[in-house]
Structure 1
């Protein structure tokens, strides 16, 4: 939680509650910049709004030009697509919509699980240029919110704020001289915690299959090789230097063993299996309740 006496600026954006805590009250200008950044990101990437930049690709093949920060997003997705054997893919959107997680939030499946096509067959993403060779639903939700947290952190730094906590409903970025203690939500009971972790000039992200779940065993973390919801893991937490990486790795931990990711990324982690067993890296300096 933020420190007592800090000021909190809260707003809604990309379907998420945001809270930005700072020792000083944020002025009107920086507040507007933060809201505008979230709005621009949503207008670019949201698959839930018909007027977004990527929404045009769901109707017809074509090429779009993304903002400069898309380069980092593409590179991260590309690495994790390979490391997970295609299980983590930005093409999972159509599969989610088929299972009911659609722009209308109908939560009514229109068919059974269906894997998305291979990235290399339908999508050419080079830097800021993205070409769809056939209609497709782009979904960068596994890393996008984390990247947006980093972008807001960058705005705060540019405005002269060295101490802050950006919290996008559990995806967090901390900066400054005052570490914060964060509770780790119990995957089966949101009112309880399974432990705590101290966040000190780093990012913390979580992924859990109880956050967006509906129907009979349906939730938002799908295996891109099968289109099926993943049921072997129920929750993950990751800590890394960037929120984008922490966000993406929290999802990737549902799909591949941590040792595979540890060879390529500097991060710490905690993972809870569907059987209730918790495993964690030696660098995850948290406290689990017994």
Structure 2
């Protein structure tokens, strides 16, 4: 639920962000954790803190602050480690990216080859993205060739306060998703918590793991009679191993599989 917390931060509903973090009960949690969350949802912060397992450090940090300073939800969030706070907003940013990508796919628009109005980044020898060039009727054939040669890639926007809308059909998709979410890019400039502001950027629409290797195949420790596969692979900056594993495993329940 990290993206939901991020959504509430973006919308400046800091109370709801804290409640989402502290009050939400998860199926596989211990009975003590569930009871602690129930006490928190009832407003009994002291009891919630006493019951909350020490392993749930972020929840305890927030509850401890609220016990000292009731209703200071901004202060409670700011007490969390920077990486954790930023993860909330980045998760929501990634959620929007995924919605944009999914809608493009549903509309039957290629995730590999650009249309006019799309953006394409060149790929350096190190595999890093260079720039984001707008595709026109003049340069499209050139970039199609570069993509086929592995020297360029279609990129989609990571929405942030510095976001510039795409043109063409892609621009229509971005506007539709932002309208559905009820946000605009300026909300990513968070005056109340400047350290969480995100400028945005671009991310490849598709990617493949590099140097993928099968390390071992052996008996599964958790599922007797089954085998487990150990993989090793490399990803470029900003890409997630969980996405690769999810696509390989195709779990019936991404939640139960840990995604």
Question: TM-score, length-normalised on structure 2?
Answer: 0.23
User: Per residue, is there more strand in 1 or in 2?
Assistant: 1
- Higher RCO by CA contacts (8 Å cutoff, separation 6 or greater): 1
* Higher percent of residues as helix: 2
